[in-house]
Structure 1
Amino acid sequence: MNLIGWLIVICEIAFWLVILTGLCSRYVFRRPKLGLFFLALTPVIDLFLLVFTSVDLYKGATATVAHALAAVYIGVSIAFGKSMITWADDRFRYYFLKEGAKPIKRHGTEYAHHYFKGWIRHFIAYLIGSGIMITLIYIIDDSARTLALQELLKVWSVILGIDFLITVSNYIWPKKAKNVAGMDVK
């Protein structure tokens, strides 16, 4: 794995450590301002990765899949960041502190609507990540050096399309609720 690949791993670990530290500060130590400070650091992690990746390419590196994944990571982090923090916040309060409502299990039309909102976030992540990749392709202006970015853009476009088909299928064949025994309920 190259340096950019390791940076992505480090940034992902840092993202979740910052969230966990923020949640612990907020709920365990009852320091909501300190918790907010840590939670607000998540975009700084993305900015660091964006700057490092861009500088690496600008200085002459040939783009690798890791460079393309850095753009994907940034797009996903921006588009899903708030919802991931909310998801972690709800589960932290319920499972560790035994506070708040149990996270709900969605089914039927409610699940389809929730999945559609997730697809919208995926589309926003795609716009951000592909925008970064297209900008890098334009700035570098050497198709041989940016081939990995171009190829991942194609793959991500297909994945986005498949995710849309799954989104539509949730309305056609809604997810059924499970009863206590694990059987589908009508």
Structure 2
Amino acid sequence: MLFVIAACEIGFWVILGAGLAARYLLRWKRVSTVLLVCVPLIDVVLLIATVFDLRDGAVANNTHGLAAIYLGFSVAFGHSMMRWADQRFAHRFANGPAPWRPPKDGRERMRYEWREWGKCVLAVGIACAVMLGLMFLASTPERTTILWQGYMPKLGLVVGIWLIWPVSRSFSSKEPASR
């Protein structure tokens, strides 16, 4: 399973890079569109591999939890990661505009931090839903205890720690001085 997770992560960046190269270097708009649409299919491959592994009688371990977390964060942050890469690739290789950067301060930075925390909550929700689905598919609680006793509480802790940034920005956020 660890190999499948690593292959999916590598595959994400390879297909994304190939799609961007096709778009900006080769000017193959249709090919790039097909490649970029295929990026989410990597998540489907990982999900299917995880389900088959547990259905074949494997006891859930750290790699199954990691697969669920990868899926959650890939779904929640995947679009913004693709946009991030697209902006930089376009700027570097196609004379595109400078990439967008998060605001440094003020209400816009506060909104940005809350939006990112919201993505974290979404990612954790998806990861927990995937884990619950895996537990249901495994049909035996003994084989999946690591998921609901080990990973879910830790994911809650991640959400709580991540909450520090938007809350701190809400209290320290100052509007830039008028010029």
Q: Separation in 2 of the partners of 1:147 and 1:174?
A: 42
2:126 matched residue in structure 1: 128
1:155 matched to 2:154? The reply is: yes
How far did residue 175 of structure 1 move? 8.8
Per-residue CA shift, 1:143-169, capped at 9, x if unaligned? 331122121111011101111222211
Check conservation: 2:87, 2:96, Cα contact below 8 A. no
3-state SS of the aligned residue for 2:163? helix
Per the TM alignment, residue 32 of structure 1 is displaced from its structure 2 partner at its CA by 1.3
Q: State TM-score, norm by structure 1.
A: 0.87
User: Is structure 2 residue 39 aligned with structure 1 residue 28?
Assistant: no
Change (3 A) 1:46 1:89: same
Gaps of 5+ in 1: 178-186
Give the superposed CA RMSD. Answer: 1.8
How far the C-alpha of 1:139 sits from its partner, in A, is 2.8
C-alpha change, 1:139 and 1:104, in structure 2 (3 Å) is closer
Query: Which aligned pairs between 1:63-78 and structure 2 lie closer than 5 A?
Result: 63-78=60-75
* C-alpha distance in 1 between matches for 2:61 and 2:109: 37
Cα gap change, 1:36/1:157 in structure 2, threshold over 3 Å: closer, same or farther? same
Task: Kindly state the Cα deviation for residue 105 of structure 1 after the two structures are TM-superposed.
Answer: 4.4
Say if 2:50 is the partner of 1:53.
Answer: yes
What corresponds to 2:108 in structure 1?
A: 110
Q: Is the 8 A contact 2:62 2:146 kept in 1?
A: yes
Distance 1:83 1:175, change over 3 A: farther
For 2:6 and 2:109, locate their aligned partners in 1 and report how far apart those are by CA, in whole Å: 31
Question: For 1:70-92, what per-residue CA distance to the aligned partner results, in whole angstroms no more than 9, with x for missing partners?
Answer: 01111111111111111110111
Correspondent of 1:146 among 137, 141, 144 = 144
Question: What code does the residue aligned with 2:164 have?
Answer: L
Could you report, residue by residue, the CA deviation over 1:44-73 in whole angstroms, capped at 9, with x for unpaired residues?
110010001011011110111111110111
Give the secondary structure class of the aligned counterpart of 1:107: coil
Number of corresponding residues: 174
Question: Within 1, Cα distance between the matches of 2:169 and 2:33?
Answer: 36
3-state SS of 2:15 partner: helix
Give the superposition deviation at 1:176: 10
- Under a length normalisation based on structure 2, what TM-score does the superposition of the two structures give? 0.90
* Corresponding residue for residue 165 of structure 2: 166
Distance 2:102 2:80 in 1: 16
Amino acid at match of 2:147: L
